Amino acid sequence: MKSEVIDQFVESHGEQYAAISDTIWRYAELGYQERDSSRIHIDNLKVSGFSVREGVAGIPTAFIAEAGSGGPVIGILGEFDALSGLSQSSMAVSCMPSVEIANGNGHGCGHHLLGVSAHLAAVTVKNLLESYGLPGTVRFYGCPAEEGGWGKSFMAREGVFDDLDAALTWHPWTVNAIWNKHTLAVKQAYFRFSGISAHAGYSPHLGRSALDAVELMNVGSNYLREHIIPSARVHYAVTNAGGVAPNVVQPKAEVLYMIRAPRNSDVNEVFERVCNVARGAALMTSCELEIKVHSACSNLVFNDVLNRTMQTNLERFSGTAYREEELAFAASMHRTVRAEELEVAGRDLLSVWKDPKPLFDGVVPLSGERGQIHGSTDVGDVSWITPTAQCFTACFAYGTSAHSWQWVAQGKSSIAHKGMLIAAKTIAGTAMDLMVNPNLLKEARRELERQRGGKPYVCPIPANVEPPLAALVA
């Protein structure tokens, strides 16, 4: 497939899709609440000739759009959820809430760009299959609530990725690179304690404090940290402190735990020990305990066969020239970054980028070294089901961090739009390489089978856990 064909198709749609991305930036809807964001995607996909199945896996904002016929079947994954409390004025170089965003949220992880670029890649692949009269099916997966809701994992439990030959996606970042680092598997669960209310001054001996139980559980978990594998992470948020009255013994209290570790089996082991700590806290306070799993997602396994194909495409389509004003804006953003943030950002790049500038304009070589990111993504579940690859492209000034006001501020910039188009071209180019080269898909599948050790994918979310559709605490 000639690069110019993909390049021209994507560029000719660039303005239209940048406008959709900007609109979703303004909607800034939290996980599982992305009604307007998924609607704009669905409407545009229908106009582009895709058939769309809505409400997938019992999630109103999850959808699958499909075009083409026969095999291979390539899935392209898109997201569109925002983060709470991150409202930020576009293009401002200091932290100030946006007057455009009414709900106080912000696209601090660039998922407005992520979904739209993946969508444009799917439209591009459909157009190419039709233009060249090629067999093959392209699917765009509208995946809600990546931020802590793990929408893809719930979708995976329903089997919607099972018949894919490969899945492709990307993430907005500050560099152009292939994602070849491991992520951590996650399990989240609510620990709900029930005690007995009482007058805290007159008759505290008659009360049993659920808030005491939460506090003791947290203390116990903090002691537990030293005795679990170092790569595991245990986070918590008190989601119900039992009210605001100190003169009442709190009869109900709740804490949400998030446990991360390299593999699902590690997560389950740490989770069981945290459950024991909770049981101990309940025993100490004579409270009842209910444990309710909220969600989970698997660690990511990457696929070298697909990564190499995607790297070739990333190198084909990177190389954007930036205008003076773009470089100046990136430089002003770069100045807001603390030295230690720059050091973290540069750790992986020092060997390839000797003189870091405010904007990354190269491509990080594909390394055989496997690092570990101590974060998580629900792409992990898809990667255990079908060979999966994803790239990063430079959408934000070098050194600025995900989940920050700086990323929200840069989310509608022409730099972000350029990064979004590089990703669309890279994904479309990779998908077309796979469409016309069945041997690549066979090799990629063999690699996945080796990694799975002959075992089938098992979704880490228990069958009786419903998607947590109420607004997420992001």
Cβ distance to Zn ion smaller for residue 109 or 249 = 109
Q: Residue 402 CB, nearest distance to Zn ion (Å)?
A: 6
Distance between CA atoms of residues 259 and 189, nearest Å: 9
Cβ distance to Zn ion smaller for residue 107 or 192 = 107
| DSSP class of 410 | H
Q: Please give the residues from 181 up to 210 whose contact with Zn ion meets the rule CB under 5 A.
A: none
Q: Please give the residues from 297 up to 316 whose contact with Zn ion meets the rule CB under 5 A.
A: none
Query: Is the Cβ–Cβ distance between 65 and 122 less than 8 Å?
Result: yes
Q: Residue 312 CB, nearest distance to Zn ion (Å)?
A: 25
Cβ distance to Zn ion smaller for residue 64 or 109 = 109
Cβ distance to Zn ion smaller for residue 422 or 432 = 422
Distance between CA atoms of residues 395 and 406, nearest Å: 12
Q: Residue 171 CB, nearest distance to Zn ion (Å)?
A: 6
Which residues sit opposite 296 in a β-bridge?
187
Cβ-proximal residue to Zn ion, closest one: 109
Q: Residue 252 CB, nearest distance to Zn ion (Å)?
A: 33
Helices (H) then strands (E): counts for the chain? 14, 13
Count residues contacting Zn ion (CB under 5 A)?
1
The two tokens of residue 441 are 């898909």
- Rg over alpha carbons for the chain, rounded to the nearest Å, is 23
Q: Please give the residues from 84 up to 123 whose contact with Zn ion meets the rule CB under 5 A.
A: 109
Q: Residue 349 CB, nearest distance to Zn ion (Å)?
A: 20
Establish if 77 lies at the interface with Zn ion (CB under 5 A). Answer: no
Burial of 279 (0-12, 13-18, 19+ CB in 10 A): middle
Q: Residue 114 CB, nearest distance to Zn ion (Å)?
A: 7
Q: Residue 146 CB, nearest distance to Zn ion (Å)?
A: 6
Nearest to 366 by CA among 455, 426, 293: 426
Cβ distance to Zn ion smaller for residue 109 or 282 = 109
Q: Residue 111 CB, nearest distance to Zn ion (Å)?
A: 6
Cβ distance to Zn ion smaller for residue 152 or 192 = 152
Cβ distance to Zn ion smaller for residue 31 or 136 = 31
The two tokens of residue 463 are 């069958």
Distance between CA atoms of residues 301 and 385, nearest Å: 10
CA atoms within 13 A on the CB side of 354: 0
Cβ distance to Zn ion smaller for residue 109 or 278 = 109
Cβ count near 405 (within 10 Å)? 22
Q: What is the DSSP string of 16-51?
A: HHHHHHHHHHHH-PPTT--HHHHHHHHHHHHHTT-E
Contact set with Zn ion (CB under 5 A)? 109
